Amino acid sequence: MSSGEKDRKDMIQRRAYAKINLGLDVIRRREDGYHEVRMIMQTVDLYDILFFTRREEAGIFVTTDRTELPGDESNLVYRAARLIADTYGIGQGLRIDLQKNIPMAAGMAGGSSDAAAVFHGMNEIFALNMSEEEMCRLGVRIGADVPYCILGGTALAEGIGERLTRLRDAPQCFLLIAKPDIDVSTKSVYDSLQTDRLEHHPDIDGMRAAIESGSLRGMTERMENVLETVTEKRYPIIAQLKKFMKDRGALNALMSGSGPTVFGVFETESAAGEAYEELKSRNVVRQVFLSALI
């Protein structure tokens, strides 16, 4: 085997895609503190890259390209790799280099998606033959969104987010994504949510039916996220960004997850592109992306 072939075999890379919530409802707070949710999840074309390399020395070694995100036990990449190595008795060493592009603490499940990519990556590099179900069963121990990230695509997530029903791909559209320069803690948003005081619940079943019938407008008309009742109140920039996107032709705009990221859904790439250029030039938020569903 040439050294080139050996390198290829010992090093693989995986993309970890961000998600948005097209709809997010919270049903109730359970006794154990978790929230029961109903969400329409969607993978978007914005991703981190993970490089997996076998090492001579035993152990798991994680690096990242962000000083604020260490590669230690606090990193979901490390935690997923440790869990898999312990579960499958993997003694061989592994190095994972994480290149971060997904905004952090943003409501886009960047950490969960990185963990999901570790499942796929280690499954391949160590030929573990884990089924998707096995990966999801282990993955939920890292985080409630990890099973969805393992699956990807368009899905209904229920329970604490781990009960998944795959849906037909959502209708094609274009996205403008903006992450305000504030960090939002998912826990603090859920802690502040008063589920018994919610006056309105998103029409998740209607959105599911609209997606299944391929109706983009039916889908966008039903975009709603109950967590906006907490985060949007705290940070006016969220409502401002939604208005900006709708004024520029977005069929609808919504906060993703616990926020603060806002996304606008456009019918045409040119309309999304123009809004993107204008938002960039205004310098109100640093992290702005033009994206699409995948």
Query: What positions carry a catalytic annotation?
Result: 19, 145
Nearest Cα residue to 241 out of 294, 192, 174, 288: 288
Which of 43, 123, 231, 258 binds ligand ATP (CB under 6 A)? It is 258
Which of 24, 37, 109, 151 binds ligand ATP (CB under 6 A)? It is 109
Would you count residue 107 as binding ligand ATP (CB under 6 A)? yes
- d(CA 229, CA 33) in angstroms, rounded, equals 19
- Are 83 and 136 in contact by the 8 Å Cβ rule? The answer is no
Nearest residue (CB) to ligand ATP, 225 versus 248: 225
Query: Which positions from 152 through 211 interact with ligand ATP, judged by CB under 6 A?
Result: 186
Which of 121, 139, 257, 260 binds ligand ATP (CB under 6 A)? It is 257
Regarding beta strands 224-225 and 11-29, do their DSSP bridges make them parallel or antiparallel, or are they unpaired?
Answer: parallel
- d(CA 131, CA 198) in angstroms, rounded, equals 39
Write down how long the chain is. Answer: 294
Which of 40, 41, 60, 77 binds ligand ATP (CB under 6 A)? It is 77
Q: Closest-CB residue for ligand ATP?
A: 111
Q: Segment contacting ligand ATP (CB under 6 A): 7-15, 69-77, 169-177, 227-235?
A: 69-77
- Are 44 and 17 in contact by the 8 Å Cβ rule? The answer is yes
Helices (H), the chain: 3-10, 76-88, 110-125, 132-139, 146-151, 186-192, 204-212, 216-221, 228-234, 237-247, 269-282
- d(CA 256, CA 263) in angstroms, rounded, equals 7
Nearest residue (CB) to ligand ATP, 210 versus 237: 237
DSSP symbol at 195: G
Would you count residue 104 as binding ligand ATP (CB under 6 A)? yes
Would you count residue 71 as binding ligand ATP (CB under 6 A)? no
Nearest Cα residue to 178 out of 111, 268, 244: 244
Would you count residue 140 as binding ligand ATP (CB under 6 A)? no
Would you count residue 24 as binding ligand ATP (CB under 6 A)? no
Which of 22, 80, 84, 105 binds ligand ATP (CB under 6 A)? It is 105
Nearest residue (CB) to ligand ATP, 114 versus 228: 114
Q: Segment contacting ligand ATP (CB under 6 A): 6-14, 71-79, 221-229, 280-288?
A: 71-79
Amino acid in position 292 = A
Residues that bind ligand ATP in the complex, under the rule CB under 6 A:
69, 74-77, 104-112, 114, 145, 186, 257-258
